[in-house]
Amino acid sequence: MRIIVCAKQVPDTNEVRIDPVKGTLIRDGVPSILNPDDANALEAALTVKDANPGSTVSVISMGPPQAAYMLRECLAMGADDVYLLSSRAFGGADTCATSTTIAAGIRKLGKFDIIFAGRQAIDGDTAQVGPQIAQRLGIPVVTYVMKVRELKEGSVIVERQLEDGFEVIEVSTPCMLTAVKELNTPRYMTISGIEDAYKKTITVWNENDVALRPESCGLKASPTQVFRSFTPPPKGKGEMLSGSVPEMAAQLVQKLTEKHAL
Ligand SMILES: Cc1cc2nc3c(=O)[nH]c(=O)nc-3n(C[C@H](O)[C@H](O)[C@H](O)COP(=O)(O)OP(=O)(O)OC[C@H]3O[C@@H](n4cnc5c(N)ncnc54)[C@H](O)[C@@H]3O)c2cc1C
């Protein structure tokens, strides 16, 4: 089987700060990591590979040259080969242009059985890129995959997370599956894996390599327009109620009534 993983390098923080003047993300001084859901996606791919000798796992990412560090981490975890889509022409991409570029890279990779992506990236947080790539490649997608139950000839059975349970879906391959953290626990890099990772080559592709015109990628192909970005002001200090449970309940009802919330 050939498995492809979409991996994004993201700032190592949940508290993304926004430049109040430019309205852009402040990335300076924030270390970068492999997006957490993508680590689950890679682990799922490596698990399939372990169970199916002869399988290969390729990781693809779009990002600046420094995303190569994250791709080395993927190699050290056990990926066979990695591809970085990097070019000035890709800069300023919204999710639409991001998925166009990644889909073009995947087309260049050739035949595959399963693409694993993360459900969402912790910086952009849209959860759009996986399904958009599937749409561009014309393959089915299952989002929120929390378990891969069974691989069959020409299909895969997965559990899809719902708020109050899960649903079981059989999807034909090739397909896109987007991973949630409940899917697995990502493995650590091994010492020999780290050594091997530095012996391997990271293939870097620009727009010409994936047969995209400059106007089909990056800012020029991004219909999203951001009018304003801002950090919501912190909420006021909370108030602790005291007394017995019935007393606190009475106080709470009184306060909510005063605020016309009840
Ligand atoms: C107008 C505009 C301009 C922007 N300019 C920039 C910019 O200059 N630089 C910048 O970094 N961001 C920029 N962004 C943000 C960028 O659009 C998103 O970071 C990107 O499209 C991914 O969306 P997301 O983070 O919501 O990913 P999600 O959709 O939440 O990600 C889901 C999954 O898709 C896969 N995935 C997502 N992105 C990638 C990737 N790059 N490579 C591989 N797999 C991926 C991963 O598996 C991930 O878990 C811009 C956004 C807008 C709207």
Buried-state track 106-123, b at ≥16 Cβ within 10 A, e below 16: beebeebbbbbbbbbbbb
Q: What is the reported pLDDT for 138?
A: 98
- Cβ-based neighbour number of residue 154 at 10 Å: 9
How many whole angstroms separate alpha carbon 207 and alpha carbon 209? 5
Give nearest CA residue, ligand 1 atom 49.
Answer: 118
Give nearest CA residue, ligand 1 atom 4.
Answer: 92
**C-beta of 184 in contact with ligand 1 (< 6 A):** no
The series of mean pLDDT values per 10 residues for the chain, 262 residues long, is 97 75 72 96 98 97 96 97 97 96 98 98 94 98 98 97 97 98 96 94 98 95 86 83 96 94 84
Contact present, 45 and 25 (Cβ < 8 Å)? no
Q: What is the reported pLDDT for 231?
A: 75
Q: What is the reported pLDDT for 15?
A: 64
Q: What is the reported pLDDT for 16?
A: 66
**C-beta of 133 in contact with ligand 1 (< 6 A):** no
Identity of the residue numbered 231 = T
Q: What is the best residue among 16, 129, 177 to mutate for testing ligand 1's pocket, by most ligand atoms within 8 Å of CB? A: 129
**C-beta of 179 in contact with ligand 1 (< 6 A):** no
Q: Is 251 exposed, middle or buried (0-12, 13-18, 19+ CB in 10 A)?
A: middle
Domains recognised in the chain with CATH numbers: 2-221 (3.40.50.620)
Query: How far separated are the first and last CA of the chain, in Å rounded?
Result: 58
pTM, two decimal places = 0.88
